[in-house]
Structure 1
Amino acid sequence: MTTLVLVRHAKSDWGDPGLDDHDRPLNERGLRDAPVLAERLAGTGIRLEAILSSTALRARTTASFFASAFGLETELDGDLYGAAAATLLRAAAGRGVPAVMVVAHDPGMTALAERLSGGGIGHMPTCAVATFVWSTDDWDVATATDPQEWSLDRP
């Protein structure tokens, strides 16, 4: 099986208008939601082998909660910051393992989730978790076909 989990970073803090976008932290809601969604996903029994994250602080922090829940390290990828859907999918497929989480940003996350769900996911709100499963172990086959199942969880 091939599994892709997309996580849009949790809610960020806009309190400091002078702060570079890349350096914005999570706000109180984001810090509350991320560990809840991480534990909820881990509680499903899903198996992950890699967690990829944008280098933006809000994505890294969100990813850290999931990494802790799954006992994995987060791999940072600067190309995921502001990435388009195709870039997000290539990053996951290029990791070389069948179960990958990607933590990144909109609009790429929503675009990819919509594409993979056949339009069933209209929008990925902050800290949303979209899971896609294919019956093949081959990412090339998976990325060229519709997943056998998908789900969306949100705060």
Structure 2
Amino acid sequence: MPRFGIVFPTASTIQEELEFGLVTNIEENIYVENTVFGPTVVGKAKGVYVAMSSSSDNNHMMAMTVSFSVENGDDDDKSSDEIDSLKFFGVHLRDVLECHVAVIGGTGKFNDANGYAVIKVVNNRDIGSTDIIHGSSDDVKLMLMYNVFLS
């Protein structure tokens, strides 16, 4: 039987690199703007968003799966092979106008997808709709807009 060993870094290195942060669950509907009928739900995003504990660091790690082609975002009735989905992983830079994260796979139509997504922060007025938030037209809700490029 072959032998192997695992070397762990010193405690000081672990404390510098692995800080405690805030982990936020992502579970949001995905909308497509339709000028005739207003915004339409086309799927659901699920994943995690990890923020560092340092108040000066505006970068957040995100890992997310976006499922499409499922009525009202309800994907509980289908097996994972039947659902069209994309998987994203990367660092969301909050202090820039746009940032890029990797597309690291997918299922269904997007099986083994590769590429990247451009993330922009927009408000509901920028995309021409106030119906998404089901509130008054004076309310503004910030949203993340993803433009996905697959190879």
Larger Rg: 2
TM-score higher than 0.5: no
